Amino acid sequence: MIASLLLLCSWGEKGHQKINSSAPQFFPARLNNYQTWSEVLSDHGSDPDKRRRVDPTEEIKHYIDIDAYTDFVQAHEIVEGKEEAINKYSIEFIKKNGTLPWMTDSTYQVLVQQFEAKDWARAVLTAADLGHYVGDGHMPLHLTTNYDGKETGQQGIHSRYESKMINKYIDSIAVNGSHLHKIKNLSRYVFDYIYRNYQYKDSLFNADKVAFEKANHEYNDLYYQILWNQTKGFTAKMIRESSKSTAELIRMAWIEAGRPRIPENIGF
Ligand SMILES: [Zn+2]
């Protein structure tokens, strides 16, 4: 996808804020002091997108064109381990098609180290980054070569869906806490949600087509209303699951770091 994605910001700023700010409500009582993280996680939910403007290496971390992989097209999965994937597909191919799952993994590892070092101020910013990459992994247009509808004559779908529609309707998405599960295998966990969320791609392209037809071939209010009606079920699900996965990953990193006691006031 490269260059033109620069202007596209995954769930848009509002979407990422919602995903990140809702994550702490999933934490169990022992992580109560994390509740204070909500605001910082929200404020920094789009930091990785902002970095893309100044750091040329940031861009490819926000997506994986999973359908560029023949293995995925044929068997619905790819080689997931970083080294094994590089050996099988080549570093050039991987970089060309985005490094999102491996970036999520390495951000998680940094968080574990910061928890171990009790470096709370840095840990919360890393957790915000982690929530951002998890959010991107729950956005079907960050998982396909047809990320902006060029291949199907639906150019501009990316910002219509993630920014304009989301900004208009995000307040009607409710995120409520629920039981968190332990993560047994990090790489499996991340690829699992990528494979799962990719499946909504076709419904999204179809909704865009239907809405455009019904709105007399214009991207007007009616178009957005129909797009929302057609996609709100799985859109709300993906936003909720992003939040929950962010919480699961933060909690898991904390467990892996030996469950350090979190001070009540961590200085922000
Ligand atoms: Zn992003």
- pLDDT tens for 154-186 read 999 999 999 899 999 999 999 998 999 999 999
Our CA angle for 239, 165, 245, nearest 5°, is 10
Report how far ligand 1's centroid is from the alpha carbon of 48 (Å). Answer: 6
The encoded tokens of residue 117 equal: 């070092």
pTM more than 0.85: yes
Instruction: Tell me the per-residue pLDDT of 82-137, one tens digit each, with 9 for 90 and over.
Output: 999 999 999 999 999 999 999 999 999 999 999 999 999 899 999 999 999 999 99
Report how far ligand 1's centroid is from the alpha carbon of 163 (Å). Answer: 12
**Mean pLDDT, the chain, as a whole number?**
92
Instruction: Tell me the per-residue pLDDT of 211-252, one tens digit each, with 9 for 90 and over.
Output: 999 999 999 999 999 999 999 999 999 999 999 999 999 999
Query: What pLDDT, on a 0 to 100 scale, did the predictor assign at position 184?
Result: 95
Report how far ligand 1's centroid is from the alpha carbon of 37 (Å). Answer: 20
Report how far ligand 1's centroid is from the alpha carbon of 139 (Å). Answer: 10
The CATH number assigned to the domain with range 2-256 reads: 1.10.575.10
In this predicted structure, the answer to whether residue 71 has a pLDDT above a threshold of 50 is yes
Report how far ligand 1's centroid is from the alpha carbon of 221 (Å). Answer: 26
Query: What pLDDT, on a 0 to 100 scale, did the predictor assign at position 140?
Result: 97
Report how far ligand 1's centroid is from the alpha carbon of 263 (Å). Answer: 30
Minimal CA–CA distance to 41: which of 243, 205, 255?
Answer: 243
Amino acid at 138: H
Residue 206 and residue 226: Cα distance in Å, rounded?
11
Report how far ligand 1's centroid is from the alpha carbon of 55 (Å). Answer: 13
Report how far ligand 1's centroid is from the alpha carbon of 29 (Å). Answer: 30
In this predicted structure, the answer to whether residue 81 has a pLDDT above a threshold of 70 is yes
Query: What pLDDT, on a 0 to 100 scale, did the predictor assign at position 9?
Result: 64
20 contacts 44 by C-beta, under 8 angstroms: yes
